[in-house]
């Protein structure tokens, strides 16, 4: 799809379609949806950030919330190499002496009135965040230097940033920190919720394996390890594959091997007792 902004044709990105469903932890879902509410024509939506350890479901929550609103979702993956033009408009050479301007997923969401997920936003540099400052306050626009245009957000546009709380990220500059509010913490789920997450992702998984992995994860959480449901899904999936490949392998032996090969020897201390 192509739209014209100030006489400049912009080629739009396609929305993301991901087969996910948010399971449990409805309170954080309510907090996110509340942040996006507009209560009055003079009101503005907020730009929340979801914070938690890698693998706790921040992106899944953001995507599921957008789908509850029946909106198009655009995921923009941030990295240390993300440049301002990557966030806004990228020029692409198209034939001799001709440029095509391609809108980022973020800008496409702005124009289409969709929801943008800026994934792992605190991996970006301050220079890249600076280009988004006008979008995150009451101005609600971005400027593309390469295309020479100002792009204003559709009133229905919403944004959420996900951020990992690990050491491989940048500290947000204060002027961006104050624009990304509220801060919603995604913590480890309770046992029943975690079991439901495993069942949702592995509906074909044997109950014995899913229960075992859930107990393993809960023991790890109690000891403040960073293992997440994503790790548990990988362990359970690999254990099932090991058993299928070697029909004589007992479930616990397969799980022991899967934990060892997925997370390393230190993780074995959290293996459930027989």
Domain ranges of the chain: 2-185, 191-270
- Alpha carbons 34 and 46: distance in angstroms, whole number: 9
Strands 149-152 and 99-103: unpaired
- Alpha carbons 187 and 51: distance in angstroms, whole number: 9
Q: What is the reported pLDDT for 48?
A: 97
Q: What is the reported pLDDT for 274?
A: 61
Q: What is the reported pLDDT for 85?
A: 94
Q: Is the dihedral of CA 202, 203, 208, 210 positive or negative?
A: positive
* Tokens linked to 13: 């990105």
Q: What is the reported pLDDT for 259?
A: 96
Contact (CB, 8 A) for 22 and 111: no
Alpha-carbon Rg for the chain, nearest whole angstrom, is 22
SS3 content of the chain, % helix, strand, coil (to 5): 40, 20, 40
Chain center to CA of 37: 20
- Alpha carbons 65 and 51: distance in angstroms, whole number: 16
pLDDT in tens, 88-133: 999 998 777 788 999 999 999 999 999 999 999 989 999 999 999 9
Report CA-CA distances (Å) from 112 to 158, 218, 274.
Answer: 11, 42, 55
* Tokens linked to 186: 């995604």
pLDDT in tens, 142-157: 999 999 999 999 999 9
Detail the DSSP E strand segments found in 36-83. 49-52, 73-77
Q: Which CATH superfamily is domain 2-185 in?
A: P-loop containing nucleotide triphosphate hydrolases (3.40.50.300)
Q: What is the reported pLDDT for 22?
A: 86
Q: Which of 147, 34, 1, 131 is nearest to 78 (CA)?
A: 131
Report CA-CA distances (Å) from 165 to 136, 162, 204, 232.
Answer: 22, 10, 32, 20
Q: Collapse the DSSP code of 27 into the 3-class scheme (helix H, G, I; strand E, B; otherwise coil) and give the result.
A: helix
Report phi then psi at 42, rounded to 5.
Answer: -90, -5
Q: In what order do the strands lie in the sheet with 89-93?
A: 2-5, 8-11, 99-103, 89-93
- Alpha carbons 267 and 273: distance in angstroms, whole number: 14
Per-residue pLDDT of the chain (274 residues), as tens digits, is: 999 999 999 999 999 998 888 887 889 999 999 999 999 999 999 999 999 988 888 999 999 999 999 999 999 999 999 999 999 999 998 777 788 999 999 999 999 999 999 999 989 999 999 999 999 999 999 999 999 999 999 999 999 999 988 655 667 889 999 999 999 999 999 999 999 999 999 999 999 999 999 999 999 999 989 899 999 999 999 999 999 887 778 889 999 999 999 999 999 999 987 6
- Alpha carbons 66 and 36: distance in angstroms, whole number: 10
- Alpha carbons 198 and 210: distance in angstroms, whole number: 7
Q: What is the reported pLDDT for 96?
A: 74
Q: What is the reported pLDDT for 14?
A: 96
Q: Which of 181, 93, 105, 172 is nearest to 137 (CA)?
A: 181
């Amino acid at each position: 799809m192509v739209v014209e902004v100030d006489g400049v044709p912009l080629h739009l990105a396609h929305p993301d379609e991901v087969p996910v469903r948010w399971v449990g932890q409805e309170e954080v879902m309510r907090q996110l949806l509340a942040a996006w509410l507009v209560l009055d024509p003079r009101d503005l939506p907020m730009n929340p950030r979801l914070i938690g350890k890698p693998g706790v479901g921040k992106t899944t929550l953001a995507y599921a919330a957008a789908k509850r609103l029946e909106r198009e979702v655009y995921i923009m993956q941030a990295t240390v190499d993300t440049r301002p033009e990557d966030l806004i408009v990228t020029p692409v050479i198209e034939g001799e002496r001709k440029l095509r301007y391609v809108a980022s997923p973020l800008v496409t969401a702005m124009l289409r009135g969709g929801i943008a997920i800026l994934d792992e936003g605190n991996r970006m540099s301050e220079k890249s965040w600076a280009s988004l400052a006008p979008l995150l306050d009451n101005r609600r626009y971005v400027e593309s230097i390469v295309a020479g245009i100002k792009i204003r957000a559709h009133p229905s546009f919403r944004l959420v940033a996900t951020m990992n709380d690990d050491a491989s990220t940048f500290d947000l500059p204060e002027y961006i920190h104050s624009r990304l509010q509220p801060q919603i913490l995604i913590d480890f789920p309770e046992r029943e919720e975690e079991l439901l997450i495993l069942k949702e992702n592995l509906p074909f998984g044997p109950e014995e394996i899913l229960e075992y992995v859930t107990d393993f994860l809960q023991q790890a959480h109690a000891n403040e390890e960073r293992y997440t449901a994503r790790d548990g899904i990988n362990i359970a999936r690999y254990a099932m594959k090991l058993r299928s490949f070697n029909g004589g392998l007992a479930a616990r032996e397969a799980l022991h091997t899967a934990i060892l090969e997925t997370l390393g020897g230190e993780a074995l201390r959290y293996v459930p007792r027989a």
